[in-house]
C-alpha cells in the first residue's frame, strides 16, 4: 500500500465544480480501494491519496490528463503500513477565509495516523492564504 501527496494548479474551477469532482471521486475511489482527501484554495489543489500501488498509479495517470488542473507535482510517494484516512473514499477539507479558523479546522481534520511530513505539507498548504 502507498501514500501519494501532490499539488497542482487549478484551471479556475468554481467551488460547485470542485464539489462535483469530490462526489465523483468518492464513487470511483471506493471501487478502487483508494482513500484520501482534497484541499482547494481557489487556485491550487493538494490531494492525499492512499491505496494499492497499481490503483494509485492508474489514478495518477488519469489525473495527469485532466484539463481541470495542470502542473502536477508529487511531493510524497511512500509505502505505508496502514491508511491515515481509511473511511474517506475522498474527503474535501474546506479552507475558511479567516486564517485562525482555517488553522483550527485543518488541525482538527488532519487524520491522526498521517506521517509527520505529510501533516506538515497539508498544514503549510492550508496556512498559505
**Domain containing 105 — which CATH number?**
3.30.70.100
Segments forming the whole domain that contains residue 81: 2-127
- Strands 69-79 and 44-51 come out as unpaired
**Of 67, 64, 95, the residue nearest 10 (C-alpha):** 67
High-pLDDT (> 90) share of the chain, %: 77
102 contacts 95 by C-beta, under 8 angstroms: yes
pLDDT (tens digit per residue) in 40-85: 988 999 999 999 999 999 999 999 999 999 999 999 999 999 999 9
pLDDT tens-digit map of 77-98: 999 999 999 999 999 998 888 8
In this predicted structure, the answer to whether residue 129 has a pLDDT above a threshold of 80 is no
Confidence of residue 9 (pLDDT cuts 50, 70, 90): very high
Q: How many domains does the chain have?
A: 1
Give the model's pLDDT for residue 36: 97
**H or E stretch covering 50:** strand 44-51
Beta-ladder partners of 35 = 50
pLDDT range class, residue 19, cuts 50, 70, 90: very high
Residue 31 sits at the vertex; the CA angle it makes with 50 and 22, to the nearest 5 degrees, is: 65
Look at 98 and 36; give whichever has higher pLDDT. 36
Q: How many helices (H) and strands (E) does the chain have?
A: 4, 5
Amino acid at each position: 500500500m502507498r501514500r501519494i501527496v501532490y499539488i497542482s494548479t487549478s484551471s479556475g474551477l468554481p467551488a460547485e465544480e470542485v464539489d462535483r469532482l469530490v462526489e465523483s471521486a468518492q464513487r470511483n475511489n471506493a471501487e478502487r480501494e483508494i482513500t484520501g482527501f482534497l484541499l482547494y484554495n481557489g487556485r491550487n489543489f493538494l490531494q492525499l491519496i492512499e491505496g494499492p500501488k497499481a490503483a494509485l498509479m492508474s489514478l495518477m495517470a488519469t489525473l495527469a490528463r485532466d484539463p481541470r488542473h495542470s502542473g502536477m507535482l508529487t511531493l510524497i510517494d511512500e509505502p505505508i503500513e496502514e491508511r491515515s484516512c481509511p473511511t474517506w473514499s475522498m474527503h474535501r477539507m474546506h479552507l475558511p477565509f479567516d486564517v485562525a479558523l482555517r488553522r483550527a479546522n485543518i488541525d482538527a481534520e488532519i487524520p491522526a495516523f498521517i506521517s509527520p511530513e505529510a501533516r506538515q505539507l497539508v498544514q503549510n498548504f492550508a496556512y498559505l492564504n
